Amino acid sequence: MDKLDVNSESSFAEVKNLITHARAKAVKVINSQLIDLYWEIGKYISEKCNNSNWGSSVVKSLASYLKEKEPNSKGFSSQNLWRMKKFYEFYHPNKKLSPLVREIG
């Protein structure tokens, strides 16, 4: 590779910084969306447990269903689904904290 002059190197560094910044923003958006997804799944399971007699066998069946229908998705074991329910139930009663938890980046 040819030697870069000082101006080219600083210009190239600016482009590299743009890439780095965009990647960091993308990760933050993805994390935020995942937290929102976990919240919604936890809410769904919580409501089903309270209103439809869902229990551990139904949640285990849900985990198996998700594994079959979404084979490339990870993190939806029955244990993780119960954690999502607990996450929702722990934070949703606090009206001030609830929206902030869902924005964790």
Summarised one tens digit per residue, pLDDT across range 49-90 is 999 989 999 999 999 999 999 999 999 999 999 999 999 999
Above 70 in pLDDT, residue 22?
Answer: yes
Residue type at 42? G
- pLDDT at position 11 is 85
> What's the rounded Cα separation, in Å, for the pair 13 and 18?
9
Q: Predicted confidence band at 8 (pLDDT cuts at 50, 70, 90)?
A: confident
Residues 6+ apart with CB under 8 A from 92: 43, 98
**pTM, two decimal places:** 0.80
Beta strands (DSSP E) in 1-105 are none
